[in-house]
Amino acid sequence: MTDKQPQGAFAHRDLLGIEGLSVSDITHLLDAADTYVEHNRQVDKKTSALRGRTQINLFFESSTRTQSSFELAGKRLGADVMNMSVAASAVNKGETLLDTAATLNAMNPDLLVVRHGDSGAVALLAQKVSCAVLNAGDGAHEHPTQALLDALTIRRRLGKLEGLRVAICGDISHSRVARSNLLLLNRMGASVRLIGPQTLLPAGAEQLGARVFTDMREGLAGCDIVMMLRIQNERMEGALIPSVREYYHLYGLDREKLSFAKPGALVMHPGPMNRGVEIDSAVADDGEISLIRDQVEMGVAVRMAVLEALAANLPNAAEGSR
Amino acid sequence: MTGLTRAFTNARLIDPSQKLDELGTLLIVDGQIGAIGKSVDLPADCETFDCQGKTIMPGLIDMQVFTGEPGEEHRETLATASQAAAAGGVTAMVTMPNTNPVIDDAALVDFITRRARDTAIVRVHPMAALTKGCLGAHMTEFGLLREAGAVAFTDGDRAVMNALTMRRALSYAANFDALIVQHAMDQDLQSAGVMHEGELATRLGLAGIPAAAETTMIDRDLRLVELTGGRYHISQISSAESVATIRAAKKRGVSVSCGVSATHLMLNQNDVENYRSFAKLSPPLRDEEDRLALILGVADGTIDVVVSGHNPQDAEAKRQPFAQAAYGTVGVETLLAGLLTLHHANELDLATLLACVTQRPAELLGLDGGRLAVGDAADFAIVDLGEPWIVDADALRSKSQNAAIDRRKVQGRVYATYVNGEAVFTLA
């Protein structure tokens, strides 16, 4: 596409990742999301910011929470929202990815929210469509709205991001959430620690700007925030870690391990949780320290802010399509 | 001699096998080299071409070319590959057996040879499968395949994973002094890996292939070579550790040789940034440090040959999410330009580079050619060593346009290519 780069407060055509966003881009989105948090607590949650716009949620990987969060966000902004779930098994690999892109493009959507199991797939698709594309998770690459909602959750609770020490624990290797959070937190001046067994830590993680720990207690020392990641079943049973019980013993977040973090440290999880695998229920359900429910609420607000920011860069119908 | 005689005068004659690099004349008599040197007596009835100072070098022998024939002719046929080869100064292609069907039977070697005779404009030397179906289990009939014309044995882009199979193949091949060619990639260690393991792969969220996937396979095979006395060649190496391993093995006197692709000498893993699947190769492009080690390996002779690894893939197979995209790049047409570009960048000297695509592959495979010796078939290229141009994948002659070095500036232009003294390519 040879379109002019959009100008304005959020000068991006698509949101493909946190990489490429500046401090002011991120701050802009978080500020906008902040206002939507209050808005979403009113009785009348509907606005007309996206009135007339069509939003398609294209999910090549099933996801209940992210898809419904995007759906709700679009609907509250007044967009027409369509959900398309393309079961991974039915897709003949990426061959239909570009076919699907071409088909959808012909329907003239304004906003395309895409989740795909392959890293880079959303960016590839974005090259082939003329609407704004929002990455809702691509392989082990990025999940930018998750990082934004996590940042909003932290900022609302602690008032800032800068100077905080954040631990991300678990399956870092396969986690797009970890990558996006690492990028965002680093950019906003927080320091990030990655904690997990060597088999779940990616090569060269230190070069991405994080301190890496295999001992959870050591890694948690002095942390303001502890982000737990979901461990996928297929990673267990001897492939990358020997067993659930050993994983829980070494890396499951319980009160004892949490006591090594800063007093009053807060706990986060992108969901869905495996209780008794990566997190103990006593920690997850403790409203004093767990931000897990806040995260879900912030998710809708952040997605509204992102949808609105991208829609603001869409050409008006009078100017023709891009 | 009553046949046609042609003299190519005023040429810079380069032949690494004779340590030749001088201005002079190449005389072709009946499709063979009749004389070469500073002062050549020209027969009376001789046609004369003034090369105007351009270089004449032996036609290149590309030791690793995948085509789609038989079975996937939409990717490449022997005919189209040979046209690309001719345009790149390559006069002999060594074709890989992992076609459909796999070239694992003497009749199929014969098929390739006959198809090449009828359709290809350069020489084609087929490698045959090392195991039936390239499945890694049962040895093929090395004796019969050799008699049919197979120049070496390989499972193409698939590693022989079973150590016992490899041991037996090396042992049995030693009977015939046949060359066993391995794609050194431990598939278990590769697992889901699609690019060099490291910071960039982590950032892109792509599974990495550690250099150890290559070196552990080489280490294992070298032990088996020492055990069996077979002749062993690694089609392409990609890492600094592999260069060191092979350098040490050669010092010990192990019968090992190896190749590298011109693309791996020119590019590094940064070329896959932004999920650029056209630079997705097997073995993968690695760090700049690895690239520099490969250059040193070529310079000191640790690496014997440079290949294109020509692997045509249609756009649909490449325009995929990176992990799903096909491996490979076309390269037979740009092999020489790539090497000359390295020469002009002062990375490697000309004679060393040219030996890696002429004399050395000929010696490894026992082929006549790769040199400009009197009595040899007149397979040569006329080249402007310094002429700059920009690679345009769409303008390449291959049926597929998946060029990893698309849009790159290169230096060195082939003006004409001759096989048996006949022009098979002339620059328009």
pLDDT computed for residue A85 by the predictor: 84
Q: Write out the DSSP string of A273-316.
A: --BTTTB-HHHHT-TTTB-HHHHHHHHHHHHHHHHHHHHHTSPP
| Contact call for B199 and A116, based on CB within 8 A | no
* Average confidence (pLDDT) over A75-103: 78
Minimal Cα distance from A209: which residue of B?
Answer: B199
Instruction: Select the residue of B198, B200, B275 nearest A123 (Cβ to Cβ).
Output: B275
SS3 state of residue A119: coil
| Contact call for B201 and A203, based on CB within 8 A | yes
**pLDDT tens by residue, A30-61:** 999 999 999 999 999 999 999 999 999 999 98
Asked if the C-beta of B289 comes within 8 angstroms of chain A's C-beta atoms, the answer is no
pLDDT computed for residue B273 by the predictor: 95
Judged against a pLDDT cut of 80, whether residue A95 lies above it is answered with no
CA B57 to chain centre: 17
Residue B380 bridge partners (DSSP): B58, B418
CA A274 to chain centre: 18
Reported as a pLDDT band with limits 50, 70 and 90, residue A321 is: very low
| Contact call for A119 and B320, based on CB within 8 A | no
Residue B32 bridge partners (DSSP): B29, B377
CB < 8 Å to B318, chain A: none
pLDDT computed for residue A322 by the predictor: 40
pLDDT computed for residue A170 by the predictor: 96
Strands B179-182 and B153-154: parallel
Q: What was the ipTM of the complex prediction?
A: 0.91
* Average confidence (pLDDT) over A316-322: 44
Judged against a pLDDT cut of 60, whether residue A86 lies above it is answered with yes
Strands A111-116 and A132-138: parallel
Strands B409-419 and B380-390: antiparallel
**Testing the interface with B: which of A119, A142, A174, A176 to mutate, by most B Cβ within 10 A?**
A119
Reported as a pLDDT band with limits 50, 70 and 90, residue A2 is: very low
What angle is formed at CA A251 by the lines to CA A246 and CA A255, rounded to 5 degrees? 115
Identify whether the C-beta of residue B166 lies closer than 8 Å to the C-beta of residue B160. Answer: yes
Q: What is the CA radius of gyration of chain A?
A: 20
Distance from the B189 Cα atom to the nearest Cα atom in chain A, whole angstroms = 13
Q: How many CB atoms neighbour CB B188 within 10 A?
A: 8
CB < 8 Å to B210, chain A: 203
Residue B146: φ, ψ to 5°: -65, -45
CB < 8 Å to A141, chain B: 204-206
Report the sign of the C-alpha dihedral through residues B140, B142, B148, B149, in that order.
positive
| Contact call for B205 and A98, based on CB within 8 A | no
CB < 8 Å to B325, chain A: 94
pLDDT computed for residue A99 by the predictor: 85
More confident residue, A319 or A147: A147
| Contact call for A93 and B205, based on CB within 8 A | no
Asked if the C-beta of A204 comes within 8 angstroms of chain B's C-beta atoms, the answer is yes
Identify whether the C-beta of residue B225 lies closer than 8 Å to the C-beta of residue B163. Answer: no
Judged against a pLDDT cut of 70, whether residue A220 lies above it is answered with yes
Asked if the C-beta of A192 comes within 8 angstroms of chain B's C-beta atoms, the answer is no
Q: What is the CA radius of gyration of chain B?
A: 21
| Average pLDDT, rounded, for chain A | 91
SS3 state of residue B165: helix
Reported as a pLDDT band with limits 50, 70 and 90, residue A90 is: low
Q: Which residues of chain B carry a pLDDT beneath 50?
A: 1-2
What angle is formed at CA B313 by the lines to CA A58 and CA B233, rounded to 5 degrees? 125
Asked if the C-beta of A264 comes within 8 angstroms of chain B's C-beta atoms, the answer is no
pLDDT computed for residue A88 by the predictor: 55
What tokens does A258 get? 């949490």
Minimal Cα distance from B320: which residue of A?
Answer: A94
Q: How many CB atoms neighbour CB B395 within 10 A?
A: 12
**pLDDT tens by residue, A229-251:** 999 776 665 689 888 899 999 99
| Contact call for B321 and A94, based on CB within 8 A | yes
Distance separating alpha carbons of residues B312 and B330, to the nearest angstrom: 5
Which pTM does this prediction carry? 0.94
pLDDT computed for residue A237 by the predictor: 59
CB < 8 Å to A124, chain B: 275, 319-321
Residue B267 CA: distances (Å) to CA of A204, B273, B325: 21, 12, 19
| Contact call for A207 and B201, based on CB within 8 A | no
pLDDT computed for residue A91 by the predictor: 54
CB pairs under 8 A between A and B: 76
Residue B391 CA: distances (Å) to CA of B215, B266, B330, B335, B353: 33, 13, 12, 12, 20
Q: How far apart are the first and last CA of chain A?
A: 9
Q: Write out the DSSP string of B47-104.
A: EEEE-TT-EEEEPEEEEEE---TTT-TTT--HHHHHHHHHHTTEEEEEE-S-SSS-S-
pLDDT computed for residue B291 by the predictor: 98
Judged against a pLDDT cut of 50, whether residue A163 lies above it is answered with yes
Peptide bond into A202 cis (omega under 30): no
